[in-house]
Every structure is written in C-alpha cells, then in structure tokens.
Amino acid sequence: MARPYVCLLTLAAVLLLGIATVSRSKGLRGKGKGHQRAPRIPSQFSQEERVAMKEALKGAVQIPTVSFSAEELNTTALAQFGEYIHKVFPTVFKTSFIRHEAVGEYSHLFTVQGSDPSLQPYMLLAHIDVVPAPDEGWDVPPFSGLESDGFIYGRGTLDNKNSLMAILQALELLLIRNYIPRRSFFIALGHDEEVSGVKGAQKISALLQARGIQLAFIVDEGSFILDGFIPNLQKPFAILEQTPMPNMFGGGPFKMALQQLANEFPFPTNIVLSNLWLFQPLVSRLMERNYITNALVRTTTALTMFNAGVKVNVIPPVAQATVNFRIHPAQTVQEVLKLAKDIVADDRIQFHVLNAFDPLPVSPSDDQALGYQLLRQTIQSVFPEVNIVAPGTCIGNTDSRHYTNLTTGIYRFNPIYLQPQSFSSIHGINEKISVQAYETQVKFIFEFLQNADADPRPVPHLHEL
C-alpha cells in the first residue's frame, strides 16, 4: 500500500480472543443444493508444493523492484520480475483460457475466461513494486528473502509480494488440478503502486474501461486480520496534534463495524457499543486516545516536509511546509482545506493543493454484496477462530482508487494476521511474513476462487421471515 500511516481494513476480520460467542450470520450458500458442477478441489498441498511455494516468494523478494519516485523505478528489476513469474508459474501462462498482457510495459493483466459468461467477472489486485529499503536497522539484508525462525524476511513480504505471489500460486495449483473457473476474473498486477499507480493501474483501468468491462467487485491489499486492535485503554497513546481535525466518528463504516462487534465484548462494553445513540461521544473520545483508532475517527495530519533558509546568516524570506492529510470518508478535500486555512488563520500564508482526491465511496457490505459475502464466507472457512467479520475503513491509498469506474465494490483485505506492532514493519524495517501465514494466504485464495464459482443465489433476508 502506498504510504500507510495506519491501515485499518475496508474489511476487517476481527479476532476477539477468549470470547466464546460465535456470531455466524447468513452468508452465501454455494454448497449442497443447486445443479452439479465439478467437485470442489480441497486446499491440501504436498510437502513438495509447500516448499516450492515459499521458495517462490523468497525469489520474488530478492528482485529489488523498488519505486524510488514516480520518475525513478528500477525498470531492470521490473523486467526481471516479469520473467520470474513466467518461470515459476508456467501453467498460468500456458493455459488456453487465460490471456496475459503486459500493460505499461511492466504491469500485468491476466484475463481468466470462465465457463459461464452470464456471471459478472471480478478482479484481484496486487502490486509488484516496493518502497526503498536501506540496509540499516534490518536483521537481514532487505532483499535477501532469508528465512529465519519460521519467517521470510524482506521488503515486500507484507506489502505486497505476498498477495501477488499468493494469487498466482493459488491459481497455478488449481490449474494443475484441472480447475476450470465458472466465473471469469481478472488479475491486475501494477508496477508503480507505491508512487501513484499512474503508469500501471491507471493504464489497466483505462484498458478495461475501453473494453466495456464492469466488475462485480475488486479485492485489493489493504487491511489485515486484526489481532489486539481493540483500543487498549490501559496504554493510550498521546495525540500529538494540538489542533486536530474534527472527530468524524459515526460518519464512516467504522461505526457500523463497532455495532456489529458489540455482542462480542464482555459487559459493560457490549452495552456501550449496542447503544451508540447514547454513548457515541464517549466511544469517540476513547477512539482518539489510541493513534491507530484515532485515524479511524478523523482526518489525520502529518507534517512531512519543512524547508526554510539557504544560509546560516540570512533570514529566510520564505518558508514552505508540506502537510499530508488522510481524509476521513465523511469529509472532502475542500472541507479539509477550509479547516486548515481556518486553523492557520494567517493571510500571509498561501495554500497550494499539490495532489488530492476525495475519499473513495464506501463499498456495500449488505447481504447482497457479492464480494463482501464471498470474503466473509472464505474468512469463516479458512480462519474458523475468527468470530466476526466487519467492514471498516482503510486509511492508506492503493491502486484500487484507479478502478472506481469499474465497480462499486472495492474490498481491501489481506488474509493475514497482523498485530499492532507489525504495522511499523510495512515500509519500515524487518518486514516479514511467517511461512505458515503465507501458506494460509495461498489457501485463502485457493478457496476464494472456488467460492466465487458457487451459485450466486441471493441470500435470504432472515429478518423478513
């Protein structure tokens, strides 16, 4: 993901340890009834396949596909990466119903033709490029892909070569088992996500729009299975800004997520969360006390650059500051700009918007939302210990912003456990993924692809019965 300060789920699967209640709600049912189709392929992999799987990821990490800036990409590495995926996923490239195209030279688009053209296609996204990683501070060199204590280390192991490799790996394994998809899908792998996605994702999107494609949904990187993210009120983090943007709690999907989570909490939290009409001010204050949940309730402000002066003995005539805002879904660029001007309240200071776009629309998460329901169903089967799946907000931009014309459902979810302390390794030091977590990610996609082929029958509205 591009410059994530905090990325909390568009789709959050929240694990609440020690609570026995399992709230399993209605989901898509593809099994059992309905007409006969090819039997389900079990997600069981041989020892040999499991070794090949992790070695393939290590090899991907070793290719330094760094985006230094929008103008400076390591094109040698990007070209090498294209050759690499041909080599490790030969079946994907030679299957007759899969079309591969290089877009913008280094990005890749796969069109997987399903057997049933009446089903609306979907798309999986991942990206090839990574942010730079100087050696300093790392336990192992960042492009070594070394394995240690059950973890594969290296830049891109969480962002986002894990997703990229897992998607192609799961497809390769399914194809080897003679899988024939029913629903068509696309796989789009951008090569400049970390620096805008203009050369990759934007071009792929334009190509698909020109072909008149409309997608049922998109699944992209973004959030994780969050373990221990429920605000820890014992150890609140300080809020650094003296004049933060207003608290917008209640304006985005996060409030809905909390309401869905309410029953999973012990007394008295369950009562509080079930009665947000009364306790909203309290909850929103508590959210502010942790830097991660704070980013869910307001637009965040980060002063990223400050320049003034050219010489020690000359008073600088001009000073310039660059501020990066992550805009809350309930606000717009213009509203944030106006607030910033009002806070500064000094007409000697000029404001220039360098680059901005309004928050993406909130994707559907109701019973009829196919992408959401497929994710929920797959989470519940691959992670049976996760007892609730809830929608949330992803703070941090990804390539999916280029695809808003193609679908109304964009879900950003990485099927991987993430503890709060691992957040900083993404774009930081010692980024790593456990071998087991990576295998599970492959398994997740393996299951997801098959779930997407199940009957898209509408889910009954239980409350209407």
Ligand X SMILES: *[C@@H]1O[C@H](CO)[C@@H](O)[C@H](O)[C@H]1NC(C)=O
Q: Give the interface with ligand X as residue ranges (CB under 6 A).
A: 63-64, 66, 74, 76-77, 80, 205, 402, 404-405
453 given a catalytic annotation: no
Amino acid identity of residue 15, one-letter, is L
Residue of 172, 193, 288, 447 marked active site: 193
Give which of 134, 187, 194, 189 is closest to 159, Cα–Cα: 194
Reported as type and span, the H/E element at residue 325 is strand 319-326
Residue of 129, 431, 439, 447 marked active site: 129
264 given a catalytic annotation: no
Quickly list DSSP for 400-412.
Answer: GGGGTTT-S-EEE
Reported as type and span, the H/E element at residue 414 is strand 410-418
Give the single-character DSSP code of 397: B
Q: Which residue's CB is nearer to ligand X, number 63 or number 195?
A: 63
Q: Which residue's CB is nearer to ligand X, number 220 or number 439?
A: 220
* Whole-number Å distance between alpha carbons of 4 and 398: 9
Smallest separation, CB 203 to ligand X (Å)? 10
For residues 4 and 396, the answer to whether their CB atoms sit within 8 Å is yes
Smallest separation, CB 71 to ligand X (Å)? 14
Smallest separation, CB 165 to ligand X (Å)? 17
Name the phi and psi angles at 43, rounded to 5. Answer: -85, 70
Smallest separation, CB 155 to ligand X (Å)? 11
For residues 413 and 223, the answer to whether their CB atoms sit within 8 Å is yes
Q: Which residue's CB is nearer to ligand X, number 83 or number 139?
A: 83
Name the phi and psi angles at 7, rounded to 5. Answer: -130, 105
Q: Which residue's CB is nearer to ligand X, number 324 or number 404?
A: 404
* Whole-number Å distance between alpha carbons of 31 and 447: 13
* Whole-number Å distance between alpha carbons of 249 and 254: 8
Smallest separation, CB 144 to ligand X (Å)? 13
Q: Which residue's CB is nearer to ligand X, number 14 or number 133?
A: 133
How is the chain split among helix, strand and coil, in percent rounded to 5?
Answer: 35, 20, 50
Q: Which residue's CB is nearer to ligand X, number 221 or number 399?
A: 399
For residues 302 and 248, the answer to whether their CB atoms sit within 8 Å is no
Smallest separation, CB 72 to ligand X (Å)? 9
**Residues annotated catalytic, as ranges:** 129, 193
